[in-house]
């Protein structure tokens, strides 16, 4: 499997504090490889490093994200949600895309949405939805059954490029 032009990288590490120098280093690598680069849960640092945007996890409930976004054009805010309440919160936060998860079973989430529930939740928002959670080679055909703007395949990516 080849990475396509519209591939993005989200850097997330909630255990370690990350500095501007490290973020800029990763951004340089991503730009060289024509990948969009997003930083998880640190909008100020993402703006300082001139990244493509920021990823706001489902546990971030802050509503003042749009104050930062007005500072720069072409800055994308991604958000994740696991249910309709979190989807509505992400709308209030002003995210541009919503990662809805988990679509399929994962080792961290044994309660998945499945295709039907996923579609029902995704129809309750105007925001573009990105499928996340348990995407593997053996369930790629089911992706055709959902209405999404994109998909995130961490497990699929790791199986292709080794982890």
CATH number of the domain to which 17 belongs:
3.20.20.70
User: Where does the pLDDT of residue 1 fall: very low under 50, low under 70, confident under 90, or very high at 90 and above?
Assistant: very low
Does residue 1 form part of some domain? Answer: no
- Distance of alpha carbon 29 from alpha carbon 49, whole angstroms: 13
Is 3 among the domain residues? no
Q: Is the pLDDT of residue 159 over 70?
A: no
pLDDT digits (tens, 9 = 90+) for 91-140: 999 999 999 888 776 777 678 887 888 889 999 999 999 888 777 777 77
Q: What is the pTM of this model?
A: 0.83
User: Residue 68 falls within a domain, yes or no?
Assistant: yes
In-domain check, residue 101: yes
| CA atoms of 74 and 116, how far apart (whole Å) | 33
Helix extents (H) in the chain: 20-32, 43-48, 66-69, 84-93, 114-122, 154-161
* Cross-strand bridge partners of residue 79: 56, 98
Residue 2 lies in a domain: no
Q: Total structural domains in the chain?
A: 1
Per-residue tokens: 41? 């849960």
**Cα–Cα dist 109/121, whole Å:** 18
Question: Does any domain span residue 132?
Answer: yes
Render pLDDT for 79-94 as a digit per residue (tens, 0 to 9). 999 999 999 999 999 9
What is the span of the domain harbouring residue 80?
Answer: 8-161
User: Using alpha carbons only, what angle is made at residue 23 by residues 20 and 25, rounded to the nearest 5 degrees?
Assistant: 110
């Amino acid at each position: 499997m080849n990475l396509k032009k519209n591939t993005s990288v989200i850097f997330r590490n909630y255990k370690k504090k990350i500095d501007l120098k490290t973020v800029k280093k990763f951004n340089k690598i991503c730009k060289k490889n024509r990948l969009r680069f997003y930083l998880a849960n640190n909008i100020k640092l993402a703006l300082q490093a001139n990244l493509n945007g920021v990823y706001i996890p489902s546990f971030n409930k802050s509503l003042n994200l749009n104050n930062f976004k007005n500072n720069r054009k072409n800055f994308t805010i991604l958000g994740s949600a696991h249910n309709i309440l979190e989807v509505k919160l992400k709308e209030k936060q002003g995210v541009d895309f919503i990662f809805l998860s988990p679509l399929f079973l994962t080792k961290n989430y044994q309660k998945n949405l499945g295709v039907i529930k996923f579609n029902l939740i995704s129809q309750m928002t105007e925001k573009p939805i990105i499928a996340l959670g348990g995407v593997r080679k053996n369930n790629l055909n089911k992706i055709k059954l959902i209405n999404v703007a994109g998909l995130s395949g961490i497990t699929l990516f790791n199986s292709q490029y080794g982890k």
